[in-house]
Copies of this chain bind each other. A is one copy, B any other.
């Protein structure tokens, strides 16, 4: 559909020309359009079906008329509140357009063509997308018993001279986690020349003692957290990074300074202040995880212990079978996802939700399993 007018169009960079047009995840709306009808239960994107705090909802609704103003380029009020909560300086916190946006900036700051980056095989695809997008060379280590393997990650980072090593704790897509002592040992062994990216998107769902102590003087690690999960604001795109002041300041070299939506800043601040609601959500998540495990067990399947807002169900066979189960669930209007890599891809991943959402799952899973088995 490009007219031939004797002009070849833009000259992309060699890197851009080499990249595929890709998307780390196919969104549920895209799937709904392809299917021609909506899902009955939206359990695939680890969104919070419990919704954001009513205070956040009210604060955003009250501020909609102010949307003519650009957001505050410094996200000052939110950073101040986070700093107070975390006991660090505002200079140690960068707010950005979700962890996805912050990961993109971080990779851009550190990774150039051919630079090595270490992650687990089957870990967060959007991180990998950013690494590829800046020409980095992704090196993976396998999961170990459905957990990311901190020792192997560090060993590999040292071996290849990685600039970044990524781990999510708790992990996505498996829901497993390591305790703070294990993570602290990981931090202590980060090799010279490597930065540890510790993605704590799901931290609020994890047991006490999962997060190592914050130490914003430690140049070996940057932490990433979000309002998308426990705070129920995935659609607002608000994440934050915690690190040394030097590293946090470096984001100002490349970030889209006026990139934060104003209502998102308002909603995140109000959500942060509603600790009671967060506690309610945390309690509901525990109950819902139990319910999903029961549904799995009722179908003869095991599920993995989870420190997140999703439960990973072992379908008991290989990736092909799990993909078939996934397809049959989607055909029954249940939006779920599954791990990408072997052997984790024997599982499907189900986000927690309200009892009625999980009723849909309970109803669909037996049929989906039977269909996948060809019964």
Residues on A close to B: CB < 8 A?
1-3, 5-16, 19-27, 29-30, 33, 42, 45, 47-52, 56-58, 60-61, 64-74, 76, 89, 91, 97-98, 100-101, 104, 108-112, 115, 133, 163-164, 190, 192-193, 195, 215-220, 228, 232-237, 244-247, 249-250, 252-254, 256-264, 267
Contacts and interface: CB of A to CB of B under 8 A. Distances in A.
B245 A1 contact: yes
Given A24-B257, A254-B16, A68 B233 contact: yes
B68 A232 contact: yes
B219 A3 contact: yes
B236 A261 contact: yes
A72 B9 contact: no
A109 B13 contact: yes
A11 B193 contact: yes
Given A21-B249, A100-B256, A218-B3, A234 B8 contact: no
A97 B65 contact: no
A245 B52 CA distance: 37
Contact of A190 (B3, B7, B61, B192): B7
Given A249-B21, A263-B261, A110 B234 contact: no
A12 B109 contact: yes
B73 A22 contact: no
Contact of A163 (B10, B65, B249): B10
B67 A20 contact: no
Number of this chain's copies in the assembly equals 2
Contact of A27 (B10, B73, B192): B73
B33 A76 contact: yes
Contacts of A101: 256, 259
A62 to B, nearest CB: 8
Nearest to A258: B100
Contacts of A5: 218-220
Nearest to A218: B3
Nearest to A134: B13
A284 to B, nearest CB: 13
Given A234-B69, A235-B71, A110 B11 contact: yes
5 contacts: A27-B72, A27-B257, A30-B72, A57-B67, A68-B232
A133 B261 contact: no
B68 A7 contact: no
Contact of A23 (B26, B73, B220, B228): B73
A257 B16 contact: no
Contacts of A236: 67, 261-263
Contact of A9 (B6, B247, B258): B247
B29 A76 contact: yes
A97 B256 contact: yes
Given A7-B220, A8-B193, A163-B10, A42 B69 contact: yes
Given A1-B246, A10-B219, 19 more contacts: A1-B89, A6-B192, A7-B190, A10-B110, A10-B195, A12-B250, A14-B112, A20-B253, A22-B252, A30-B74, A33-B76, A45-B69, A48-B68, A64-B64, A68-B232, A70-B235, A71-B237, A100-B256, A237-B261
